[in-house]
Structure 1
Amino acid sequence: MSVLRDEIRSILREEIAALKRGEQSEVLTFETVRISSSADLTRFSQDLVTRGQDSAFAARVAQGRHRFDLEQHRPVGALSVSAPAKPRPNVLTKTLVTERDIGALGAGTQVLSIGKTSRLTPLARDEARRRGIRIERSEV
């Protein structure tokens, strides 16, 4: 147990030093929105106003850390062949991923993409496993 604590302290020292150097982390979340009519747009804007009352959500949107993608619109009657949707991963650019970072991800998160040199704390790995979040390493 002492060896594990020493390793955690060492990792934390490195990461605190990185934070003091000004390295920033960013968790990006993506939400797909279907807007095919004025009524859809009105519903989305009303929902956004309601959700904006949560200051954390409003801050994430204002900082660009929560992004919206439009669902691809198909004309009525158009032939549609679809494959199973691949979940778009959230991206975390941070050298040390903690349990708190995993907890900050949205409830529907299925995939988290982290940097090739990023490390996960044991608690972060446990939290991701508990929530069913798959961790992928990016090439960057």
Structure 2
Amino acid sequence: MSRSRRPGPSESSDYTVGFGRPPQGSRFKPGQSGNPRGRPKAQKSTAQMLSEALFMPVAVTENGQRRRMPAQALLFRTLMRDALRGDRHAIRSLLTLMKAFPETGPELRITEDHGARVREMLDRMAQNMAIEQGVSELVP
């Protein structure tokens, strides 16, 4: 059953108000939305936030030049630098990563110079661990 009412000043006389036919004065104006704030944005998952943080560009000064690189690459470079300096925690982390990702592409190949440095570090680390544990002599 439709209600009839008198047309307002902006309504034509042949327009009847009823189901699906609201008064013209209460309709949305052109360019106006019925949901002005819109749908709320979805919350980001932890994986998405971590991914964004790891691939966020970071400014770095390298050899006197400023470069931008992903934060993940900078973290790996820092880890490698610390490991090459003899930091045992960095060496352990690097070895764990190497075991977790055994693929060796051209960028992961170790030259003989690097191999010698790594062997030196591992020997020093083994000696330090032996001293800490009270072992007097290491068996080669």
Classify the TM-score, shorter chain: under 0.3
Greater strand fraction, Structure 1 or Structure 2: 1
TM-score, structure 1 normalization? 0.20
Which structure shows the bigger proportion of residues in helix conformation? Answer: 2
* Structure of higher CA gyration radius: 2
Bigger relative contact order, structure 1 or 2 (CA pairs below 8 A, ≥6 apart):
1
TM-score (norm 2): 0.20
